[in-house]
Amino acid sequence: MKFLCIDCDEVMTFAERELPGDGTLAAVFECPDCGREMAMLTNPMETKLVSGLGIQVGGRTVPDQPLELVRSSVTTGDEQAFADLPLTAGTVRWSEAAAERLQGVPGFVRGMVKKIYGEYAVERGIEEITPEIMDRARQDLGLEGM
5 vs 27, which CB is nearer to Zn ion? Answer: 5
Widest pairwise Cα distance in the chain:
59
Instruction: Decide if residue 34 touches Zn ion (CB under 5 A).
Output: yes
Dist. CA 84–CA 111, nearest whole Å: 27
33 touches Zn ion (CB under 5 A): yes
Q: Which stretch binds Zn ion (CB under 5 A): 2-10, 78-86, 113-121, 136-144?
A: 2-10
**Taking the complex as a whole, how short is the minimal distance between the CB of residue 13 and Zn ion, in angstroms?**
11
5 binds Zn ion (CB under 5 A): yes
Q: Which residue's CB is nearer to Zn ion, number 11 or number 81?
A: 11
| Helix ranges (DSSP H) in 1-146 | 44-52, 79-84, 96-102, 107-123, 131-140
DSSP character string of 96-123: HHHHHHHTTS-HHHHHHHHHHHHHHHHH
Candidates 26-34, 79-87, 91-99, 118-126; binding stretch for Zn ion (CB under 5 A):
26-34
Residues touching Zn ion, count (CB under 5 A)? 7
Could you tell me the CA-to-CA distances from 39 to 26, 28, 97, 109 in Å, in that order?
Answer: 7, 4, 26, 9
Binding site for Zn ion (CB under 5 A): 5, 7-8, 31, 33-34, 36
